[in-house]
A and B are shown apart, each in its own frame.
Chain A
């Protein structure tokens, strides 16, 4: 469960305030708002990448407002994917597990499992440099899900994709929504996306 209470974020002249919402396990919430309304800022604050001026971020009854990003264990998929360019697809997906000092075989199994779920098992040995937009999003999803987070944050995962790929990824996200029992927060400016995916919609 993820809950934001009276969240207030300031960066220079830009202020996002009075953010209140709660996402339960199994829920898929789409956060909608115009460009520049602070959607990404809120997401980054939840992930711990941006300082919060006041208010609270609660993760399963624990106040994580002032914890480091790593301690929060939130899966994060940034808008551009931001895949690790010096690593292969498999290394990207297994990175969080390597940091957690999993054994090599366990990492390999988990990476394989996610790759099958995401339909990228044929790409594992490739470098990330020449992946298509849809493939990049799948790898970014795998990397974010690898360590079994209870919350997954997606920053406009469909905005840079062509229509056919977009439909594929929507199907994939629906599959994840139904098969993983986690809270998902998805940022979007498209009503259709929201309609197809969300269990509830938040407007900013």
Chain B
């Protein structure tokens, strides 16, 4: 019965034109052109820097005591900022991803304020904060404004927001089933957090750390306003670029830019290579 029906359907459909699948080439071509434009633009920018400068300029820049200080301060402050950001981002991301509470949406928006604020405004706001009674109290014990502490704080205020976003997404994407099982096996919340959730978030933590570090390395606006641009004191690499440009020494500015690009790229690459091992079934 069903056999005859099937044959009947086939016969009926005989006059229908055979469907042809069109080539994928135009699709890949358009997507590819759009995708490569941006990457080529980035590389072209870097190459423009490379062709502008010579190894001589770079070695000259590296030999300058001021620039050596800036490199050192940049690397140290960015690393401290990275560590602080991850330490702060993990609990915020955890609470946001695992709990529902009042005003969660509002807190969610507050976390993004440092991202949407113009960098200069972050610096200005920090400066104003340290004019208040509380700020003055802190200043009387530990001078923050126009010191290296100010550099770290200015970097941290912006970089941490990126780390928080990353950790929030990381924890949200990890199903809580494993943590629940851990609870039934005798864990308290602390144990299930450290033994079960955190190990799964390893690559997310690495991403958050590298983002925070890279962001801190490139931070300029808030540092200029809040910590100043004093040579051998609060000068970080972006400050160097600014100072060298402002006296017309473009060669040195470009040389320092290339040092920053190379070191930043290297760190991100290493993190990507180590952090891509996925812990999913």
Contacts and interface: CB of A to CB of B under 8 A. Distances in A.
Interface of A: 44, 47-49, 68-70, 72-76, 78, 80, 82-86, 95-96, 99-100, 128-129, 143-144, 146-147
Given A47-B184, A70-B186, A72-B184, A82 B177 contact: yes
A73 B180 contact: no
Contact of A85 (B183, B195, B280): B280
Contacts of A47: 184
A49 B184 contact: yes
B88 interface: no
Contact of A82 (B181, B188, B279, B280): B181
B280 A99 contact: no
A86 B184 contact: no
A200 B1 CA distance: 44
Given A85-B281, A86-B199, A86-B279, A70 B188 contact: yes
Contacts of A86: 196, 199-200, 202, 279
A67 to B, nearest CB: 11
B178 interface: yes
Interface string B171-214: 00001011011111111100100011001101000000000000
Contacts of A80: 177
A143 B185 contact: yes
B184 A85 contact: no
A100 B202 CA distance: 25
Given A80-B177, A86-B199, A99-B191, A74 B184 contact: yes
B17 to A, nearest CB: 41
Contacts of B181: 76, 78, 82, 84, 143
A99 to B, nearest CB: 5
A158 to B, nearest CB: 18
B173 to A, nearest CB: 13
A18 to B, nearest CB: 25
Contacts of B182: 84, 95
Interface of B: 175, 177-178, 180-188, 191, 195-196, 199-200, 202, 279-281
A85 B187 contact: no
A49 B202 CA distance: 26
Contacts of B183: 48-49, 68-70
Which 10 residue pairs are nearest across A and B when measured between Cβ atoms? A96-B185, A82-B177, A86-B199, A69-B183, A76-B184, A70-B186, A69-B184, A99-B186, A85-B279, A82-B181
Contact of B187 (A44, A75, A76, A99): A99
Given A70-B188, A146-B185, 13 more contacts: A70-B184, A73-B186, A74-B184, A78-B180, A78-B181, A80-B177, A84-B196, A85-B178, A85-B200, A85-B279, A86-B196, A128-B281, A144-B185
A95 B196 CA distance: 10
